[in-house]
Every structure is written in C-alpha cells, then in structure tokens.
Amino acid sequence: MNYSIEYILNNIVFTCARGTYIQSERQSLEGVHAVLCAKEIFKMINDRNIIFTEFERSVFDKHNQGKELVTTWAKSVNLDSDTEVDISVGVADILVYGEDLGIFEIGTTRPTKMLLLLKYISKQNSFYSVHFWPYGSNKAFVFRNWI
C-alpha cells in the first residue's frame, strides 16, 4: 500500500506524539518536528529502507497496562523480553527477542524519537522492528528493516 505524507503525519506521528507538545519548552516547534519527521518516515518507506504495517491490538490508557500486554503476549508465545533497556539511541520500553529484535514504544513518543529509532533500525545488518503502541488507540504501528 502506498502511504502519503499526510497519512503518516495525521494517523501515525500525531497519534503517537499526542500531548508531547505540552511538556515541550518550545511548543510551536513540536508541530514542525512532526511534519519533518513524517516527511522523513515517508521517504524511508518509499525508498524501502523500512517496511510499515499496521495491526489492531487491545486499547490501554496507562503505560504499565501497555507494557503488561506486550510482556504477557511475549510469554504466551515463548519469547524473552526485557523492559526499560538502553539501546544507544534512547531507552526502549520493551525489547522482545524473536525472529527479530522488537523494540516497543508504549504510549506517547516524540516525533524525533520515532525518527531516530527508525533510522537506527534501517542501518542495522540484522533483523529489527519498532512497534509504536499509542495510548487510547487500538492500532499498533510496526516498522521493520526486513521483508
């Protein structure tokens, strides 16, 4: 499926970044960052540096609820997981070790962190995926560096 910059901005970046501007010292720049990040993500998808898929999942409103959903799922399919892991480009909420290394961001994620994680996995030689699970949504946005 072909995705537009507008789709990525409105349905992925804004959904994941909801509320981040409130904590920002420069609130007006958060919108600019979101647009620039959406353009970069669009280019990475278009150039096939990353593959995007969207899944449905359970809705949660609290960070610990989201983390519990992921770790419970990982255990149910016999996968190992770790929480709050420093992965050199920031702290990942959860890492799940399977066919690839799944990096899970639960709740709110700043646009610049989204882009940083996606650029990071696009440069890796092994299989990685980044899973964004925003609050109050039944959507999971998954980006991977393998087909």
The predicted model scores a pTM of 0.93
Q: What are phi and psi of 68, to 5 degrees?
A: -65, -40
- Report H helices in the chain: 5-7, 14-17, 20-23, 27-46, 63-76, 111-122
pLDDT tens profile 77-111: 999 999 999 998 889 999 999 999 999 999 999 99
The closest of 78, 122, 130 to 103, measured between CA atoms, is 130
What's the number of domains the chain is made of?
Answer: 1
Task: For residue 34, give the CATH number of its domain.
Answer: 3.40.1350
Instruction: Inform me whether the pLDDT recorded for 1 exceeds 90.
Output: no
Name which of 99, 16, 110 is nearest 54 in CA terms. Answer: 16
Q: With a cut of 90, say whether residue 22 has pLDDT above it.
A: no
Q: Which residue has the tokens 């066919």?
A: 99
Average pLDDT over residues 25-37: 84
Residue 105, beta-bridge partner list: 132
Rounded distance, CA 38 to CA 122, Å?
Answer: 16
Q: Is the pLDDT of residue 115 over 70?
A: yes
Maximum Cα interatomic distance, the chain, rounded to a whole number of Å: 44
Of 105 and 19, the one with more pLDDT? 105
* 121, 145 contact by CB (below 8 A): yes
Nearest to 56 by CA among 140, 133, 115: 140
Which domain, by its residues, includes 11?
Answer: 5-144
Mean pLDDT of 41-49: 97
Percent of the chain having pLDDT more than 90? 82
- Environment class of 65 (CB within 10 Å of its CB; exposed 0-12, middle 13-18, buried 19+): middle
